Amino acid sequence: MSRHLKGAAMRRFGMAMAVLAAGLLGACSGTPKPKPTPLEPLAASIAGRVVWTQRVEGGKEGGGIAAVGRQFLVASPAGTVLALDAESGREQWRAALGQNLATGPGGDGRWTAVVTRSGELVVLEEGAVKWRAPVGQRVVTPPLVAGERVFVLAVDRSVQAYDALDGRRLWTLRRPGDPLNLAQVGVLAPWRDTLLVGQGPRLTGVDPLRGTVRWELPMASPRGSNEIERLADLVGPAARVGDRICARAFQATVACADVARPASLWSRTVGGIQGIEQDEGFVFAADASDRITAWRATSGEVAWTSDKLLYRDLTAPLAAGPAVVFGDVEGQVHFLSRETGAPLLRVATDGSPVTSRPVAVGTTLLVMTRSGGLHALRPN
């Protein structure tokens, strides 16, 4: 067999295995599990309410929310992208792309980028489509727009950089990887003059101008008797405070690293599939059963745990002042004390599952539900 044919066969094998992994993981997620834990009566200890609502086309997968300046960027699974004023909810601009979206939006205040389910990167400027480019791979991670470039992380762990002005592909980084890939939002974030990328269980520092690797840092040690059990890709969103970045490795660990050195700070073995959050004092995450844990950010010591929201399909958390905030399968938004985990406030939305991690602009928090509801909350 020629070298070319061997390479093509291996690429087809890798794609087939990625599809197999996605199917098996989807089947696992569909396995019946205990009913959501009933909510206890709550006498709210802080005030808060829904201050405005909007609506887009709903969906179970795709789309999402991002915060840029004083705006929320929203991408609906059905292909609508819009910018909303965070204070009032007033629409700034709207674009109907006519294609289902695989990712949430990424933006820098000028350009907004999304990727369609057909694998097309679409970049808009003030709601007008600036350019489109085929990525050539499946993408579920929101693009990153920074430094007049658009960065895309594909499911196969490849990274591509495009010129934000004209859509020219500037470089592609492909790394040898495991035979299975995880079709879930990964880690793609800026830090100083370095692009931080999750590639399997490793956090990689990439030169954003050249696409070359500067350093790698293991965040998990994959274990298991087969390739599926050894999947330990870093799951987004990661959380960064200063030079400390923390991330979850799929069903393996929650770990923190100092990216200035770079060096590992601590790692704790814990299952889970959602992204995590941190503030100056704590790292927050829910495990696969929705048991919530807060670790002390500097040491990894457990500060508190909470079993009050088990099996409620919690979103990734958001740290917001004195609270850590989760959305759940019944459209409830939960505010827990960051210090103790005690319930502080519960706000109902439209009764359908919250599908996006809460996102904040100032004191306004926004969530999206499966039915397409956009609900802005403001705790006092």
Number of domains, the chain: 1
Task: Decide if 98 is inside a domain.
Answer: yes
pLDDT of residue 223: 74
**In the predicted model, is pLDDT for residue 222 greater than 90?**
no
pLDDT of residue 25: 46
Q: What is the CA radius of gyration of the chain?
A: 20
Task: Decide if 272 is inside a domain.
Answer: no
Task: Decide if 53 is inside a domain.
Answer: no
**In the predicted model, is pLDDT for residue 4 greater than 50?**
no
pTM over 0.85: yes
C-alpha distances (whole Å) from 22 to each of 156, 177, 327, 335, 373 are: 12, 16, 24, 32, 28
For 43-95, how does the pLDDT look when each residue is reduced to its tens digit (9 = 90+)? 999 999 999 999 999 888 889 999 999 999 999 999 999 999 999 999 999 99
pLDDT of residue 6: 40
Report residue 179's pLDDT band, with 50, 70 and 90 as the boundaries: low
Task: Decide if 189 is inside a domain.
Answer: no
pLDDT of residue 189: 97
Query: Which CATH number fits the domain that encloses residue 134?
Result: 2.40.128.630
Query: Which residue is associated with the tokens 């400027």?
Result: 125
- Of residues 77, 91, 68, 101, the one with CA closest to residue 369: 77
Range of the domain at 131: 61-174
Task: Decide if 100 is inside a domain.
Answer: yes
Higher pLDDT, 380 or 2: 380
**In the predicted model, is pLDDT for residue 20 greater than 70?**
no
- Paired with 195 in beta bridges are 190, 206
Residue 377 identity: L
Please give the Cα distance from 313 to 29 (Å, whole number).
Answer: 11
Mean pLDDT, rounded, for 153-163: 96
**What is the distance of C-alpha 327 from the center of its chain?**
14
Which tokens is 8 given?
Answer: 């093509």
Report residue 218's pLDDT band, with 50, 70 and 90 as the boundaries: very high
Which tokens is 183 given?
Answer: 């079709």
Task: Decide if 84 is inside a domain.
Answer: yes
For 319-368, how does the pLDDT look when each residue is reduced to its tens digit (9 = 90+)? 999 999 999 999 999 999 999 999 999 999 999 999 999 999 999 999 99
DSSP letter at 201?
Answer: T
**What is the distance of C-alpha 251 from the center of its chain?**
15
**In the predicted model, is pLDDT for residue 149 greater than 90?**
yes
First to last CA, the chain: 68
pLDDT of residue 225: 67
Task: Decide if 152 is inside a domain.
Answer: yes
Mean pLDDT, rounded, for 12-31: 43
Task: Decide if 286 is inside a domain.
Answer: no
